[in-house]
Amino acid sequence: MNRRSFLTSAALTTTALALHGCNESNRVAIDHTKHPQKQDEKLSTININRAVTKTLKIATSWPAHFPIMGTGVDRFASRIEQISAKSLQIKIFAKNTLVPALGVFDATSSGKLDGFHSGPYYWKGKNSAFSLFSGFPFGLTAQELNGWLMFGGGMQLWRELYAKHNLYPFAGGNTNIQMGGWFKKPIKSLKDIEGLKMRIPGLGGEVMAKLGANPILLPAGEIYTSLERGVIDATEWVGPALDTMMGFYKVAPYYYSGWHEPGSVLEMTFNHTTWSSLAQEHQAMIESAIAEMNANMIVEFQAKNTQALQKLDSLGVKLQQFPQSVIDAAKAATLDVLSEQSDLNPDFKRVNQSATEYLKQSIAWSDVSLKEYLNIR
């Protein structure tokens, strides 16, 4: 075949293919008009209509733009708007704007809100097992908690139990290891724990009660004043970055390393009906943005606590460690609390067994890896 014949044949073939494609396109278009329901379903799950914006109302248990936790949620909302080309928008409501700080669970469960950002241990009154998803004394670190939730069966249990409240949770951040608290007087023995009035929530509070303390629950805005006026003798909060901002060092200079919250999971939880109604693309975008927020929040706490620690000496803070007698008693009390709660609640027992089994496996690995490295370093 000569060059002219080849080009002519190629041109005819291309034209035929193009006409065939047009016919195919026309045929598909006609089929779509015959099946409008299928077309609508396809658009809702494959092609997001950017002319229609979906807005979700999410409330938090934190003040507006609260450092790390609040600003992390702000960045999450901005990220969603960015990656969805504004087809999905998140409207954030700080605590007490639409509902009280600890009213977000019920408001989301009922559908008044589309979602919330808070901490699972706040809802232990609904089900004591929920507190375990935040972590527990002498338990899993932030990294281990993520491992248990994502690859150890923890998330399946969490979603199963939250589904009974029409909720769909995600791990939405972690405070990383928390400090043991601020005390007006040093803790030299178990006798110094007896009768101590301390602001401390969750399972850590139950353990302190076993040691003879009087755990008290107070909202953030009342802690400093209560500490200053002697309503409480001590308080735990988070870590150097947020604690120094609260000014606790001014009235309680003894600052202890912690064991009650080696990692503390925060949650981004959605109304289950709302979540199920979202387009698959929007669900995927939310999952990705939450995973990003979860990872970023952990390392931001690490970085900010590192920076704040350097300032503590100049503020007159006395860094302390609990006596071994207190640590030993707290470990025994933790086992008692976990056992007692397991006997009272089958859900607690299931979640505790899952988390504890994962902890045993993780300790075996950490002892020959991270622990050895830290000792070497």
Residue 97 and residue 140 share a domain? yes
Residue 39: its pLDDT value, please?
Answer: 44
Say if 26 falls within a structural domain: no
Kindly report the number of other CB atoms within 10 A of residue 299's CB atom.
12
The answer to whether position 279 is within a domain reads: yes
Please report the pLDDT score of residue 15 as a whole number: 38
Residues 137 and 252 occupy one common structural domain: no
Question: In terms of domains, do 144 and 101 share one?
Answer: yes
Q: Is 35 part of a structural domain of the chain? A: no
User: What pLDDT is stored for residue 3 in this prediction?
Assistant: 39
Q: What is the CATH number of the domain that holds 338?
A: 3.40.190.10
Domain annotation covers residue 99: yes
Question: Does one domain contain both 249 and 107?
Answer: no
Quote the pLDDT of residue 50. Answer: 61
Q: What is the pLDDT of residue 220?
A: 79
Taking the C-alpha atoms of 157, 159, 165 and 171 in order, what is their torsion angle to the nearest 10 degrees? 110
Residue 6 covered by a domain: no
| Rounded Cα gap, residues 113 and 97, in angstroms | 12
**What pLDDT shows up at residue 217?**
85
**Domain match, 228 and 79 both:** no
pTM of the model: 0.85
Q: Identify whether residues 124 and 256 lie together within a single domain.
A: no
Q: What is the CATH number of the domain that holds 143?
A: 3.40.190.170
Q: Are residues 286 and 201 in the same domain?
A: no
The residue segments making up the domain with residue 123 are 54-174+265-302
Residue type, 185: K
Cα R_g (the chain), whole angstroms: 27
**Please, which residues bridge with residue 319 across strands?**
255
The predicted structure's pLDDT at residue 31: 40
Per-residue pLDDT of the chain (377 residues; tens, 9 = 90+): 443 343 334 443 343 334 344 433 333 333 433 444 444 554 455 455 566 689 999 999 999 999 999 999 999 999 999 999 999 999 999 999 999 999 999 999 999 999 999 999 999 999 999 999 999 999 999 999 999 999 999 999 999 999 999 999 999 999 999 999 999 999 999 999 999 999 998 899 999 999 999 999 887 789 999 999 999 999 999 999 999 999 999 999 999 999 999 999 999 999 999 999 999 999 999 999 999 999 999 999 999 999 999 999 889 898 999 999 999 999 999 999 999 999 999 999 999 999 999 999 999 999 999 999 999 99
Domain count, the chain: 2
Q: Is residue 256 part of a domain?
A: yes
The answer on 289 and 156 residing in a single domain is: yes
Q: For residue 197, which of 207, 189, 210, 209 has the smallest C-alpha distance?
A: 209
Q: Looking at the structure, tell me whether residues 198 and 91 fall in a common domain.
A: no
Beta strands in the chain (DSSP E): 54-60, 88-93, 115-118, 167-174, 181-183, 197-199, 214-216, 234-235, 254-256, 265-271, 318-320
Report the candidate in 203, 193, 338 with the shortest Cα–Cα distance to residue 261.
203
